[in-house]
Amino acid sequence: MWKLTIGDLRTYYGVAAGETIKQLCFVFRTADCKKEGKGAGGADIFVDVLDSGFQLSLSNGLTAPVVAVNSSHSST
């Protein structure tokens, strides 16, 4: 098991303060480049980057989230 800790994205990747980071794309390969880690169905692995602040994603186990990102909801 490997763990990647990036910390501050702008510092790690050298992104200027005025640029918006929307997604990260990852490629995982063995040292000899013979095997490659991919997402479901051999897809590239993309991770959305959200604005700072509290973020919550609820999932129902299917492909669609229960609550849309960047939407407001209240409960009692």
Residue 54 lies in a domain: yes
pLDDT number for residue 14: 94
The answer to whether the beta carbons of residues 44 and 52 sit under 8 Å apart is no
All residues at 6 or more sequence positions from 48 whose CB lies less than 8 Å from its CB, including other chains: 22, 23, 69
Q: How far apart are CA 75 and CA 29, in angstroms?
A: 44
pLDDT number for residue 43: 85
Residue 4 lies in a domain: no
Q: pLDDT by residue (tens digit) across 13-72?
A: 999 999 998 888 888 888 898 888 888 888 888 888 877 755 555 555 555 545 555 565
Residue 16 lies in a domain: no
Looking at the structure of the chain, the number of domains it has is 1
Domain assignment of residue 28, given as a range: 21-67
Residue 14 lies in a domain: no
- Binning pLDDT at 50, 70 and 90, where does residue 76 land? very low
Residue 52 lies in a domain: yes
- CA-nearest of 4, 8, 3 to 21 is 8
Residue 49 lies in a domain: yes
Residue 30 lies in a domain: yes
